[in-house]
Structures are given as C-alpha cells and as structure tokens.
Amino acid sequence: MAKVTIDNQTFEFEGSPMVLQFCLDNEVDVPHFCYHPAMSAPANCRQCLIEVGMPDRDRATGHAILDEDGNPVIQFMPKLMTSCTQPAADGMVIRTHRSSDIIRRAQKDNLEFLLINHPLDCPICDQAGNCPLQIQAYKFGPESSRFEFEKSHKPKQIELGPNVMLDGERCINCTRCTRFTDEISESHQLTIIERGVDNYPMTPPGVVFDEPYSMNVIDICPVGALTSRDFRFKARVWEMSSTPSITTTNAKGSNCHYWVQDNLIMKVTPRTNMFVNEYWLADEDRLDYRRFNDNRPSGPTVDGDPVTWDLAYEHARGLLAKCEGAEILFVGSSSACVEDNFLLGRMAASLGADTPVFVEHAVEGAGDNWLVTDDKTPNREGCLRLDMHPLTGDSLRSRLSSGAIKVLYVLEEDLITSGLCSAEDLSGVEVIVHDNSISNQLVNLAAVTLPAAMIVETVGTYVSENGYAQKSVPAKAIRAVNRTLMMSIGKSRADMHGTPFDKWHHEENLIDCLPGWVSIPVVARALGQDLSFKGPRQIIEELSDSNEAFAGLSYEGMGEIGIQLEEVAATA
Ligand code: SF4
Ligand code: FES
C-alpha cells in the first residue's frame, strides 16, 4: 500500500486523497479556512500550507538516493504548498506546522494579513468562542498587530435575506458561502463583489438570499461575517449546552444539535451524518424550535382544572374502565416516538380496542428530494411499521356520529386543527389527550390532559421516510428530572459551574410533562394491564423481539448516527 510520511509519522493510504483531508481524517490538525470537504477547493485562504518533499532519485537508474545513514534523501519543493489541493503520493514526505518553522512562520504571517482589516468585534460577535479565525489567531497567529493604518471599511448589517445577515468587514473572502450556493444548493444567490481588500459576498442585483437552505452559510462561514437574523445577540456559545439529536419538521431525520440556555432551545444547527443529511440542514428545520419553549401545557388537568398526576391517571382510568374495548378509539401520532406508539398499541390491545390509528401530515409538493419532505412529521414510517393506519376525517366523523366511540384517547395530535372533526362532532365523547401545546384544540374539551414531553426532553426512536431509525436524547430537562444527573443532556458552563440560584436559572422554564413511555404504562397499570418496562431501551428490545419490521433494533445499534432497519433486520 502507498505510504506518506507526515511530521515523521508514516501513514498508509489508497487512491490519491488531498493531503489536508487525509490529515483531518487521521486526526492531524492542519489549520485552514476556505476548504470544505463537500465543495471545490479554491485554495484562497493560504492557511493550510505544508512543505512537500519526495525521495530524490538517481536520474540514470531511477533508484532513490540514500544519505550516509542509508535513509532516502528528500527533495523538498521550493515553495510552500496548499495541503487542500495537494494530492498525496507514494513516498511523499510532508511537514506541517508541527515540525516546520517555515510553516509556522508562514501561517503566522498569513493570519496577520487576514487580521489586518478584520474588526475587533469578538466581544460582541455571535461566532466568538466557536470561531475558526479566533481559535487559529490564538493558536498560530501573531500576538499583536503591526498595522498602523486605517482599516478598510465595508458595509455592515446587510440583510442578505430573511434569515441571514452579513457583516462585510468580518469576511475573509474564503468563498465558502458563494460556493455553497453554486455547488450545493445551486441557488446561485450569492457572489463576490468589489475588488481587492474591498470585496465581500453579496446577492446579485434584485436577488434576495431566500433559498430554503440559506442558513447553512452561517455554519460554514469560518468567521462571524454571516449570522442568523433569528439568533443574533441572543446567547454566547459558552452559555449554551449542545445536544446531538434529530429534527422533526420533516420526515428525513436530519441530524442536528439543539442549543439550550436556561432550559430553553435557542437554536438548531446541523450535525454531520453522511447517511442522512451530510453537513446540511433546511432552514425550516432550524427555525421550528419555538414550539419546544412556548405554548407548552405544564401539569395535568381534569375537566380543565389543574390536578396532580395521580388524580389525572385515576380519572383517565375511570373513563376507560367504563367502556368496552371497541368504544375506545386510540389515536397515536407520527410526531411521537416509536416507544410511545408501541405502548399505546399494547394498551389498546390489552383493552380489546382496535390498533391505534394516526393522522397524516403530508403537504403534497412540499418536498424537494433533498432534506425537505412532503411529510411534516418525523415518524410516519415508524407508525406504519407498527401496523398503524392513517385516520381519515370521513371514517372518524361517521364513527362519532353513530355513537360508536365513547372515549377518544389521543397521543400528541390535534384532530380539530387537522380538520378530521369539529368540536361539535366530539360532544358526548370523553377525550383523554397527551398534549404538548396549549393551542391543541382538544385541550379545551378534554376530560383529562396529560402533558407530553417533546423530542428535546426525552429518549425516543424515530424512523425516517427511508426506513432509517434514529434515537433522540434529552437536550433540556423537564420538572421530573434533575438536569445535572441526566448524563445525556449536553452541559454548558452554567450547568457545570452554576447553581440553581444563579440569575440565569428560571424554574418556570422547567415544564411539568412526562414522556409517553412513562405516563401510558401508569394508565395501563391502573386498569390492571401489565405494561411495565424498565425504560425505553427495554421497550425497543421487546419491539425488536415481537415485530419483524424492527427485528434486531437496539439503542446500541442506533448509536448516535442511526441505522437502516432493513440492514439490521438482515443481520438479526
Ligand atoms: S462571508 Fe464568510 S463564508 Fe462568505 S466569503 Fe466571507 S468569510 Fe467566507
Ligand atoms: S484551506 Fe487550503 S488554501 Fe484555504
């Protein structure tokens, strides 16, 4: 196999990878700005410099020339090379900043040039603390600036589109943003204008940067030039925790990080998963986070009055116990996780009711064959694999009008807003609902409400429209758990070093709700049904053993990047 030596360490490789990507893949840190693995390499930032040498060969024989110790003599190229555009070759010898004074000096000088016109905005810049330019300036840059002239001034606070703001002075002209719109989203909505030190990215005349993936340029900008109009100045990176999870606005299962401050979701950013969303996230996946914070019901109710959980469970039990199985309609949810829907199905079966149904939330033509899908829920495929069928308005209304349904047991759905029935249709029907929004119209007429934890507060499994199973972990706490003791919740500096009495900690941000896999078994147990599982992990184990569509599925198998259900079934 071909070999390359990097800083006196030998690596084997196949093909002809670019040295920078090869270094990154092998955890050799090489500073860089303009390179992105998904896009072309213009080599314009000049920060990824390396020294490149090849064994010197005798021209007559072609054999390597050896020094007096028997080692090959290495002939280094006279100029420094950019590692992002330098293919690795067999026998190549590379020196990075770790072993070369020349490279260290070149990178330091390059940073001095990049910083000449860069404003000292770090104290008020959203990117500070998570900024490649700031990090590299600290690690590799000069300690101070020698530039004594006035900096070049460019436009600031330019609204490129509804979601992205540009600060032209912070731009280092890496062209990552323009390449994204040219090569990835292909919207061609950004270009570089002006010349020399005055240039910066801009939309062509008459164009608004409003493509559905515009906010990806914020993540890939290696400085704070492009910021989110929604998130600007709301929180510093060290004040937030970030937890890996998935988004729920589409059925793609795009991987994300939920950023949390004071137990509120502040923003959503992409998480790399080459099997699902690669490096990207649709804007609608990012901006749909307020429903996790706002309009949340807190604490159960009976006939609209707040009660304890025990009283609510007892009332639900009483309503269900009065009915024959067929008189109860269980409605699951493609927004709820597999575990909750599975338990709902078990409870329905144990009471002699039909398998739960679910409500479709597809918007025909909304999908783009990329990360935006027609289906606007994360787990329709999971529901189908649990043998649940879509509920239609006609069938619901006809069953309601015939008086066949006495109790409607609903998991995280709003049948009225979805247009499946009206409040009048439900007169005479007792409604029990696990709700997570006070705008759910069923709440106003429900006999019992049991507030449900959302994906950002619980562990759960979701199956994408392609049959890819992934699990969520809690990003924020609910009232029933101690955030500090929840190992899976990301930790911010305030979490690690703060106290509950700190001024950034507000008790009212802890919502009194429970995951369905906690509350459904309590209702079932009150009815004498045994639905006891130690936790969601054991629910998935049981499902894996009892349903072929989930054969072999486990939390370990899903890990952080998920797994294709067909693949795991083939090896089960
Ligand atoms: S705005 Fe950011 S991503 Fe775009 S060219 Fe400037 S530095 Fe690069
Ligand atoms: S990363 Fe190689 S020149 Fe910018």
Residue-wise DSSP of 410-434:
EES--TTTTTS--TGGGTT-EEEEE
**Residue 291 bridge partners (DSSP):** none
CA 279 – ligand 1 centroid, Å: 17
Give the contacts of 316 (CB within 8 A, at least 6 positions apart). 432, 448, 450, 523, 526
- Return the pLDDT at 25: 97
The residue nearest atom 6 of ligand 1, judged by CA position, is 171
Best of 19, 29, 32, 80 to mutate for ligand 2, by most ligand atoms within 8 A of CB? 32
Contacts of 355 (CB under 8 A, 6+ apart): 330, 345, 348, 349, 387, 388, 389
Q: How far apart are CA 62 and CA 13, in angstroms?
A: 23
Spatial distance between the Cα atoms of 125 and 99, rounded to a whole number of angstroms: 33
Q: Return the amino acid letter for 17.
A: P
* Cα-to-centroid distance, 120 and ligand 2 (Å): 23
Rounded average pLDDT over 12-35? 97
pLDDT at 235 over 80: yes
Q: Minimal CA–CA distance to 155: which of 56, 98, 225, 204?
A: 225
Give the H/E segment covering residue 13: strand 9-13
d(CA 539, CA 88): 49
pLDDT band at 505 (very low <50, low <70, confident <90, very high): confident
What is the number of the ligand 1 atom nearest to the C-alpha of 173? 5
- Whether 86 is in the pocket of ligand 2, judged by its Cβ within 6 Å, is no
pLDDT at 118 over 90: yes
Question: For position 507, what pLDDT does the model report?
Answer: 86
Q: Which ligand is nearest to the CA of 202?
A: 1
> How many whole angstroms separate alpha carbon 212 and alpha carbon 480?
37
Average pLDDT over residues 138-152: 92
Q: What is the mean pLDDT of residues 190-194?
A: 96
Q: What is the mean pLDDT of residues 22-47?
A: 97
pLDDT at 15 over 90: yes
Distance, CA 132 to ligand 1 centroid (Å)?
Answer: 12
Ligand 2 centroid–CA 223 distance in Å is 14
Tokens of 146: 């020698």
How does strand 241-246 pair with strand 226-228? unpaired
Q: Is the CB of 317 under 6 A from ligand 1?
A: no
Kindly tell me the sign of the dihedral angle through the C-alpha atoms of 548, 549, 551, 555: negative
Amino acid in the structure at residue 513: C
Mean pLDDT of 12-23: 97
CB-based contacts of 305, cutoff 8 Å, min separation 6: none
Is 511:456 a contact under the CB 8 Å cutoff? Answer: no
The whole-number average pLDDT for the span 550-561 is: 96
Q: What was the pLDDT predicted at 314?
A: 96
Helices 516-526/338-350 angle, 10° precision:
10
pLDDT digits (tens, 9 = 90+) for 207-216: 999 999 999 9
CA angle in degrees (0–180, nearest 5) for 200-201-207: 140
**209, two tokens:** 């940067």
What is the C-alpha separation between 147 and 494, in angstroms, rounded? 38
Judge if the beta carbon of residue 114 lies within 6 A of ligand 2: no
Q: Is the CB of 48 under 6 A from ligand 2?
A: yes
Find out whether the beta carbon of 176 lies less than 6 Å from any atom of ligand 1. yes
Helix (H, G, I), strand (E, B) or coil at 316: helix
Query: Tens digit of pLDDT for each residue in 318-336?
Result: 999 999 989 999 999 999 9
454 ligand 2 Cβ < 6 A:
no
Beta bridge partners of 202: 191
Residue 501 pLDDT: 67
The identity of residue 245, as a single letter, is S
Give the pLDDT confidence score for residue 247 in this predicted structure: 98
Residue 505 neighbours by CB distance under 10 Å? 16
> Which protein residue's CA is at the shortest distance from atom 8 of ligand 1?
174
Classify the phi-psi angles of 194: left when phi > 0, otherwise alpha if psi is within -120 to 50, otherwise beta.
left
**From CA 260, how far away is CA 267, in angstroms rounded?**
8
What separation in Å is there between the alpha carbon of 217 and the centre of ligand 1?
8
Three-class SS of residue 350?
Answer: helix
Q: What local confidence, expressed as pLDDT, does residue 62 receive?
A: 87
Ligand 2 centroid to 273 CA: how many Å? Answer: 24
- Encode 302-314: b = buried (16+ Cβ within 10 Å), e = exposed: beeeebebeebbe
Please give the distance, rounded to the nearest whole angstrom, from the Cα atom of residue 370 to the centre of ligand 2: 28
**Ligand 1: centre distance to CA 96 (Å):** 25
* DSSP letter, residue 353: P
Phi, psi of 5 (to 5 degrees): -110, 120
| pLDDT surpasses 90 at 280 | yes
What is the reported pLDDT for 484? 63
Residues 6+ apart with CB under 8 A from 61: none
Ligand 1 atom closest to the Cα of residue 178 is: 4
Which atom in ligand 1 lies closest to the alpha carbon of residue 176? 3
Mean predicted confidence (pLDDT) in 403-418: 96
Spatial separation of the C-alpha atoms in residues 421 and 341, rounded to whole Å: 22
Distance 203 CA to ligand 2 centre (A): 24
> CA-CA distance, 33 to 296, in Å (whole number)?
41
User: Coil, strand or helix: which one is 352?
Assistant: coil
Ligand number nearest to the C-alpha of 172: 1
Phi, psi of 198 (to 5 degrees): -90, 0
Establish whether residue 177 lines the binding site of ligand 1, counting it when its CB lies within 6 angstroms of any ligand atom. Answer: yes
Nearest CA to ligand 1 atom 2: 221
Ligand 1 neighbourhood includes 172 CB (under 6 angstroms): yes
Q: Are 215 and 163 in contact (CB under 8 A)?
A: yes
- pLDDT tens for 427-455 read 999 999 999 999 999 999 999 999 999 99
Nearest ligand, CA of residue 36? Answer: 2
The gap from C-alpha 406 to its chain's centroid, in whole angstroms, comes to: 41
> Counting runs of H as helices and runs of E as strands, what totals does the chain give?
16, 25
Q: Residue 518 above 80 pLDDT?
A: yes
Q: How far apart are CA 22 and CA 333, in angstroms?
A: 45
pLDDT > 70 fraction of the chain, expressed in percent and rounded: 98
Say yes or no: CB of residue 261 within 6 Å of ligand 2. Answer: no
Are 476 and 259 contacting, i.e. CB atoms less than 8 angstroms apart?
Answer: no
Is the CB of 19 within 6 Å of ligand 2? no
Residue-wise pLDDT for 377-400, tens only, equals 999 999 999 999 999 999 999 999
Question: Which neighbouring-strand residues pair with 463?
Answer: 469
Note the ligand closest to the C-alpha atom of 127.
1
Q: Which atom of ligand 2 is nearest to the CA of 46?
A: 3
Ligand 2 lined by 32 (C-beta under 6 Å): yes
**Mutational pocket test of ligand 1: of 176, 182, 192, 200, the residue with most ligand atoms within 8 Å of the beta carbon:** 176
> Per residue in 243-254, pLDDT tens?
999 999 999 999
In whole numbers, what is the pLDDT of the chain averaged over residues? 95
Number of C-beta neighbours around residue 150 at 10 A: 7
Furthest C-alpha separation in the chain: 99
The confidence band for 486, taking pLDDT boundaries of 50, 70 and 90, is low
| 230 Cα: distance to centroid of ligand 1 (angstroms) | 19
467 Ramachandran zone, left/alpha/beta (phi>0; psi -120 to 50): left
Span from the CA of 36 to the centroid of ligand 2 (angstroms): 9
Contact 468, 564 (CB under 8 A): yes
* Ligand closest in space to the Cα of 191: 1
Q: 227 forms bridges with which residues in the sheet?
A: 165
Residue 46 near ligand 2, beta carbon < 6 Å: yes
The encoded tokens of residue 549 equal 């569509």
Contact of 288 with 261, CB cutoff 8 Å: no
pLDDT of residue 482 exceeding 80, the answer is no
The amino acid that residue 451 corresponds to is P
Q: Ligand 1: does its nearest atom lie under 6 Å from the Cβ of 329?
A: no
**pLDDT given at position 483:** 64
Q: Which two tokens stand for residue 405?
A: 């349904």
pLDDT of residue 231: 97
